[in-house]
Chain A
């Protein structure tokens, strides 16, 4: 077949034509007949009692159609937003799970908490009316930091959650860790903060809801990474809408990074309201609104200790973390700093005993949930900083201490002491590759050149592993998941041989329309341009869990691979009939069904035609048509990993850190489209660099105001912050996914923060600096240098 573009090729992306020409179809681009505008009134206070809401002025404002509040929600007997994970403490006591009403009831618990929804003929009229809504707040003191929230006497968010602790969670063998610490030749300690981040996909969140009285059906267009999950959570658990009466569409979505993988209250409110006002309603968040309502990420305070023997071998690792949940439990909230964090604390090392305690804490801040990497960057940062601290204290080279503790390639599959079993990997190979690619051997020359300009140069390593491809449902269920984590795909072969794939993952930048088409093109021998991928519409796609946790290719791709295998199997039956041969003698290769050892052949198109025009067809034993579906539930996580090396230059005059070189050698398993994988690595790395050097969500303690509430205050990485990165892959194959793929969406974000900060600390180590918290802003570094009370001039 002509123009088969298969695995390992880098065709240009199918999705690019519409994006390059301004013809994408994002939620905010959609218009509906009779459209109204919705605006949310949000709490300006971090913590307050909601004494009353007077709607009269707002309702009297021109163009206003309705004003809805928590009381209206209550009157309709509707539920709150569900949490998708239920974790428990060491004794099996379930986490505290206070209700998360879709519009605030009784109290507001963060700046941005939704108080009312105003619907008017135009956005301007809705804005004006929202300003006129009289909300009577009794302001209470806010608590925003985790350390402050667990102190005696701290403001309490919920009456039945003492000390604001949602769950006191743990993993690992505490006694074995204590015993190992007693035998240790050296114990290294580290206190650190994992800074709070705001995902900032470039497209703000938006939704349109419409109710059709004639069919009693709802349609919700929403900026979501998982429309089927929104349909399930919102329909079944919040609004009591039967699944077949609810269509959720997530069309083109302008980036997600986790921010759009939750079921948000806005979605439920607007859908509920659309039936009440019997008009379609559109809501588009402003960027400022996104800052106080998009779920935030990270926000840990951690104490870690590593026990080592005299040769620098890791004996045991102990980690105590306070993790910020914000004001309520979001969809995946409690899962992120626990199940997606502690199991990664083994890293790529043979540490035999690990114990981790995580106190999950409520505060008067936006709910915290998954953000690209989700738990795994936090674990990697703790571990990779810890390794550097230990190396420095014991006088062992940082690369050498890693080598002494690394899991050798031949030791895989490797069972860690913290639940997970790595199926494959070669961390040493990634390290060796990165050392060469980063030209580490000439670093001394570059450092001297920097010194001659009065700059301090540093090199930082991060050798890491992550767990992705979420997730084996049974395993996740044991950890507290309340849903499955499989994926589904339907391969519809048309009578003329072209193919439409319906898949449950969601494409919002990852290039699925291209990568998945390559898989089909290769497996079925169909021309690349004759394969289209459909996603993001619950009326068109059978089911799906969506896109997050680097799962689309790993889990969705596997479902697609299985479904194409079924198409081939059915095609062989049809071919056997047409070619008057035994089914076992039919071979399928390069788009042709052939009788082995003969020149009798039927093309894929001929078989498709026969399936839909079954005149000469084994109808007694085979149904007409050529369309197959598969669900795939993985048997294990996948474990991408690698080595990242950052090189920075610090200007002691200003404290400015400049990233001058960045090298990554990652093991992502089989690479389907190298161009797309490279793009994913680039983007992930820069988000991690953003965390390390620029980004920080800052709240004011006491008032609970978000101080970094706009793109003017929250520093996003820009083009001129970055050097040209060197990225490469050094792949071992996943042993349990059909194509050996491991996933590549999050590796960049997971590996990079530790590499950058290790480089900054290295640059300043001659001044006695042993740790720098993120982000390493000029202000922070300059202050550190002043406090070092050493001559600021270069050596």
Chain B
């Protein structure tokens, strides 16, 4: 079937079988391999993308759900439009060593951006709870939590400007 949606700011139309998972569509058909697949039970969170601004695990979403929607993947995450810079959350992860092997990172970032957008005054407990659906095996989460707090603060600061 034909599915039309906005992908990382660009109108996109694809032909896909209705049973295609969004994670597969992105990786195999659209060559956007930043969205990772780390499990088969929707536990790991490596595949989180934003569907109409909300974080979703793309491995549990079928392609037809995209029709008419707006999808943002890690490849579309960026700083202020036209700035050619990384998103403040990406900068924060780099600054605070919030990643090691990088495999969970795209999902962590997408979840973190949504968390920060939803609640401007995030506490450490909020962040830890909010990352419950994202597993990282490398970092022990500590620097991820620090990164998300810093990234959220930077997002708030940018909003205030």
B74 engages A21 (CB within 8 Å): yes
A200 engages B102 (CB within 8 Å): no
Closest CB-CB distance, B116 to chain A, in whole Å? Answer: 15
Q: Does B106 contact A (CB under 8 A)?
A: yes
**Contacting residue for A676 out of B36, B74, B97, B137, CB 8 A:** B97
What are 23 A-B contacts with C-beta separation under 8 Å?
Answer: A13-B97, A16-B93, A19-B99, A20-B93, A22-B73, A31-B31, A199-B137, A201-B101, A202-B137, A253-B101, A286-B40, A287-B39, A678-B97, A679-B138, A679-B143, A682-B140, A683-B100, A685-B140, A710-B40, A711-B43, A718-B131, A718-B141, A748-B140
**Contacting residue for A202 out of B27, B38, B141, CB 8 A:** B38
Q: Assuming A719-B132, A720-B132, is B137 touching A255 (CB within 8 A)?
A: yes
Residues of A within 8 A of B127 (CB): 719
Cα A275 to Cα B101 in complex, Å, equals 32
Greatest chain A CB density within 10 A among B86, B103, B109, B140 is at B140
B97 engages A683 (CB within 8 Å): no
B39 engages A719 (CB within 8 Å): no
Q: Does A24 contact B (CB under 8 A)?
A: yes
Which residue in chain B gives the minimum CB-CB distance to A689?
A: B140
Q: Does A203 contact B (CB under 8 A)?
A: yes
Which residue in chain B gives the minimum CB-CB distance to A284?
A: B37
**Contacting residue for B135 out of A15, A20, A286, A718, CB 8 A:** A718
Residues of A within 8 A of B103 (CB): 24, 26, 201-203, 254-255
Q: Assuming A21-B86, A22-B34, is B100 touching A257 (CB within 8 A)?
A: no
Q: Which residues of B4-25 have CB atoms within 8 Å of chain A's CB atoms?
A: none
Closest CB-CB distance, A9 to chain B, in whole Å? Answer: 13
Cα A20 to Cα B87 in complex, Å, equals 10
Interface size band for A: 35 or more
Closest CB-CB distance, B96 to chain A, in whole Å? Answer: 9
B40 engages A287 (CB within 8 Å): yes
Q: Assuming A252-B102, A719-B144, is B46 touching A202 (CB within 8 A)?
A: yes
Q: Does B32 contact A (CB under 8 A)?
A: yes
The 9 closest A-B pairs by CB, nearest first: A22-B34, A19-B102, A254-B103, A509-B101, A686-B140, A22-B74, A509-B100, A682-B140, A29-B33
Which residue in chain A gives the minimum CB-CB distance to B24?
A: A123
Which residue in chain A gives the minimum CB-CB distance to B96?
A: A675
Q: Does B67 contact A (CB under 8 A)?
A: no
Q: Does A725 contact B (CB under 8 A)?
A: yes
Q: Count the B residues whose beta carbon is within 8 Å of the partner chain — how many?
A: 53
Q: Does B70 contact A (CB under 8 A)?
A: no
Residues of A within 8 A of B144 (CB): 719
Closest CB-CB distance, B111 to chain A, in whole Å? Answer: 10
Cα A511 to Cα B99 in complex, Å, equals 10
Residues of A within 8 A of B113 (CB): none
Q: Assuming A201-B101, A288-B40, A682-B142, is B95 touching A718 (CB within 8 A)?
A: no
Residues of B within 8 A of A421 (CB): none
Which residue in chain B gives the minimum CB-CB distance to A255?
A: B101
Q: Does A712 contact B (CB under 8 A)?
A: yes
Closest CB-CB distance, A484 to chain B, in whole Å? Answer: 27
A24 engages B34 (CB within 8 Å): yes
B40 engages A22 (CB within 8 Å): no
A201 engages B93 (CB within 8 Å): no
Closest CB-CB distance, B42 to chain A, in whole Å? Answer: 9
Closest CB-CB distance, B70 to chain A, in whole Å? Answer: 18
Greatest chain A CB density within 10 A among B97, B103, B105, B145 is at B103
Residues of B within 8 A of A718 (CB): 131-132, 135, 141
Cα A13 to Cα B43 in complex, Å, equals 28
Cα A19 to Cα B144 in complex, Å, equals 14
Cα A724 to Cα B104 in complex, Å, equals 20
The 0/1 profile, CB within 8 Å of A marked 1, for residues 119-160 of chain B is 000001101110110111111111111000000000000000
Greatest chain A CB density within 10 A among B27, B100, B103 is at B100
Q: Which residues of A734-785 have CB atoms within 8 Å of chain B's CB atoms?
A: 748
B94 engages A204 (CB within 8 Å): no
**Contacting residue for A12 out of B95, B104, B125, CB 8 A:** B95
The 0/1 profile, CB within 8 Å of B marked 1, for residues 1-42 of chain A is 000000000001101111111111010110100000000000
